[in-house]
C-alpha cells in the first residue's frame, strides 16, 4: 500500500464522513487512524443542510430512528441582570420546514458510519498514527507509527485540535480559552419535550437542552470550572435535581443517565485551512464552544466543499493547489462562524452594561421583526440560504400564490 489517491488522517465524525463522501464521489480513500476505544455519550444536532448531505450518502434512514427532530428552538434569558433579553422562539414551520434539524447520539452516527465504511469498496483502512508528513509538488509522504510509509495525492487532516497533519504542513493556529467548562449529559424527564430545544442564557454561558427520542433530552451546561467539578461530584439524585432546576422544571421530574462528563472550553482557528496537497477539516481547522449547534455542521460544510473540489466521473488528477483552493473557499464561512460564536459567548460573560443592553436589544429586534427572524433562521440552517431564496423570488416574483 504505497500509492494512495486520498489519505484521510483521523476517524472521528468529520473524518469518517469525509472518507465516505469522497469514496462515494469516486475517489480511492485510505483512512489512517489508531483503533478508537473511547465511548462517546454526547449528541450532535445536525441542521437541515447537513441532514440532506448525510441522506445523499445513503445512511440517513439508519440514523433517523435514533434521532429527534428540532421543530422549535427558543432562547430564554436566565440571568439576573438588570437588562435581560426577551424570550425568543424560532419555529421551523415559519421557514417551510418540519424541523430545523435532528439531534443524534454520537455513538449512533459513529456506528452507522463504521458499517458504511466497512462496506465501501473505495475505502481502505490502516490502524496507525501519523508520525510525520512531507509534501512536495507532486505527492505527500506519510510516515506512520507502524513503520509504514505511504504516499498520497491529497491528505485530509481530520485529526483534531492537536493535528499532526496541520503541524506537518507548517500551518500555525490562533488559540484562546474561556473560564468555562461544559457539563454534558443525557436525562429522562416526565413531560414530553414536543421537539422543542431550549437554550438558557446564564451569567456563566448557555445551558442547552436538546430533544432525544421519547421523553429524553441531552444537556450541554456551560459553567465555571469549579462548578463543573461540584456538579459531577454530586450523587445522581442531587445532580438530577440540579438539572431540573436549571431547565426551570419545564420537563417535570428529571433523572440523569449515567455518563455525565465535562469538557473545558476553548477555541482554535488555523491560520490557513489548506495548503498545497493538504486540507484541514473539523477541529484540525476550527473549534469553538458548543453554542447554536454550529460545530459539526461547520465541519460538514468543509466536507461538502471537498467533495465539490474532488468529485470525479473518471480518472481526474488532483491538483497540487487543492489545499489553497479549499482555503479560499472555506475562509469566509469559518471565520464568520468562529468569531460570531466567540462574540455571543463573551456577551454572556460580560458585566459591561452596554454589552448587555446590545444583546438584549438584538434579541428583542429579532423577536419583533418577523422577516429578520426568518432570514436569520435560514442563515443558521444554511449560510447563504436567505440570499438564494431572495434571488429566486426576484427571478420568479409571481410564482407563489398570494394570500387572501
How many Cβ atoms sit within 10 Å of the Cβ of residue 404?
3
Whether the per-residue pLDDT at 377 is higher than 60: the answer is: no
- DSSP SS3 for 323: helix
Bridge partners of 9?
32, 157
pLDDT in tens, 261-307: 999 999 999 999 999 999 999 999 999 887 656 789 999 999 999 99
pLDDT in tens, 232-256: 999 999 999 999 999 999 999 999 9
pLDDT in tens, 137-164: 789 999 999 999 999 999 999 999 999 9
The residue written with cell numbers 483503533 in the block is 35
In contact, 67 and 48? CB cutoff 8 Å: no
Whether the per-residue pLDDT at 352 is higher than 80: the answer is: no
What per-residue confidence (pLDDT) applies to 217?
A: 97
pLDDT in tens, 75-85: 888 666 555 66
Q: What is the dihedral of CA 166, 130, 104, 383, to 10 degrees?
A: 20
**C-alpha cell, 372:** 429578520
Give one word for 123, left, alpha or beta, with left for phi > 0 and alpha for psi -120 to 50: beta
> Which of 60-64, 217-221, 253-257, 290-294 is the least confident region?
290-294
Question: What mean pLDDT comes out for the span 203-212?
Answer: 92
> What is the percentage of the chain residues whose pLDDT exceeds 90?
68
In contact, 207 and 78? CB cutoff 8 Å: yes
Hey, CA dihedral for 257, 63, 300, 118, is it positive or negative?
A: positive
**C-alpha cell, 216:** 429524553
Q: How confident is the model at residue 381 (pLDDT cuts 50, 70, 90)?
A: low
> Which of 55-64, 145-154, 170-179, 371-380 is the least confident region?
371-380
Whole-number mean pLDDT of the chain? 86
Nearest to 166 by CA among 273, 288, 300, 304: 273
Amino acid at each position: 500500500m504505497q500509492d494512495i489517491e486520498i489519505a484521510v488522517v483521523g476517524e472521528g465524525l468529520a473524518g469518517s464522513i469525509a472518507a465516505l463522501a469522497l469514496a462515494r464521489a469516486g475517489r480511492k480513500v485510505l483512512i489512517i487512524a489508531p483503533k478508537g476505544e473511547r465511548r462517546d455519550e454526547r449528541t450532535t444536532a445536525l441542521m437541515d443542510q447537513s441532514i440532506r448531505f448525510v441522506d445523499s450518502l445513503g445512511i440517513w434512514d439508519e440514523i433517523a430512528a435514533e434521532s429527534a427532530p428540532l421543530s422549535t428552538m427558543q432562547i430564554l434569558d436566565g440571568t439576573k441582570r438588570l437588562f435581560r433579553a426577551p424570550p425568543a422562539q424560532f419555529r421551523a414551520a415559519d421557514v417551510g420546514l418540519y424541523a430545523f434539524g435532528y439531534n443524534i447520539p454520537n455513538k449512533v452516527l459513529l456506528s452507522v458510519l463504521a458499517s458504511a465504511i466497512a462496506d465501501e469498496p473505495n475505502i481502505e483502512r490502516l490502524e496507525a498514527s501519523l508520525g510525520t508528513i512531507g509534501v512536495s509538488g507532486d505527492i505527500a509522504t506519510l510516515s506512520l507509527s507502524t513503520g509504514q510509509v505511504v504516499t498520497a495525492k491529497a491528505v485530509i487532516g481530520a485529526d483534531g485540535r492537536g493535528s499532526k497533519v496541520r503541524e506537518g504542513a507548517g500551518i500555525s493556529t490562533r488559540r484562546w480559552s474561556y473560564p468555562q467548562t461544559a457539563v454534558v449529559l443525557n436525562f429522562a424527564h416526565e413531560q414530553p419535550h414536543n421537539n422543542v430545544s431550549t437554550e438558557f442564557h446564564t451569567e456563566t454561558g448557555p445551558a442547552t437542552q436538546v430533544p432525544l427520542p421519547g421523553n429524553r433530552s441531552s444537556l450541554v451546561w456551560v459553567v465555571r470550572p469549579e462548578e463543573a467539578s461540584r456538579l459531577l461530584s454530586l450523587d445522581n439524585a442531587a445532580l438530577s435535581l440540579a438539572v431540573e432546576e436549571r431547565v426551570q422544571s419545564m420537563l417535570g421530574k428529571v433523572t440523569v443517565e449515567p455518563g455525565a462528563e465535562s469538557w473545558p472550553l476553548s477555541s482554535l482557528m488555523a491560520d490557513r485551512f489548506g495548503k498545497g496537497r493538504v486540507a484541514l477539516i473539523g477541529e484540525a481547522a476550527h473549534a469553538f464552544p458548543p453554542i447554536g449547534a454550529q460545530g459539526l455542521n461547520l465541519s460538514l460544510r468543509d466536507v461538502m466543499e471537498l467533495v465539490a473540489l474532488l468529485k470525479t466521473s473518471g480518472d481526474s488528477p488532483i491538483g497540487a493547489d487543492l489545499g489553497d483552493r479549499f482555503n479560499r473557499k472555506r475562509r469566509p464561512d469559518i471565520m464568520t462562524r468562529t468569531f460570531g460564536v466567540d462574540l455571543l459567548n463573551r456577551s454572556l460573560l460580560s458585566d459591561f452594561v452596554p454589552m448587555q443592553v446590545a444583546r438584549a436589544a438584538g434579541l428583542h429586534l429579532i423577536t419583533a421583526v418577523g422577516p429578520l427572524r426568518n432570514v436569520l433562521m435560514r442563515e443558521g440552517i444554511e449560510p447563504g440560504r436567505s440570499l438564494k431564496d431572495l434571488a429566486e423570488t426576484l427571478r420568479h416574483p409571481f410564482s407563489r400564490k398570494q394570500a387572501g
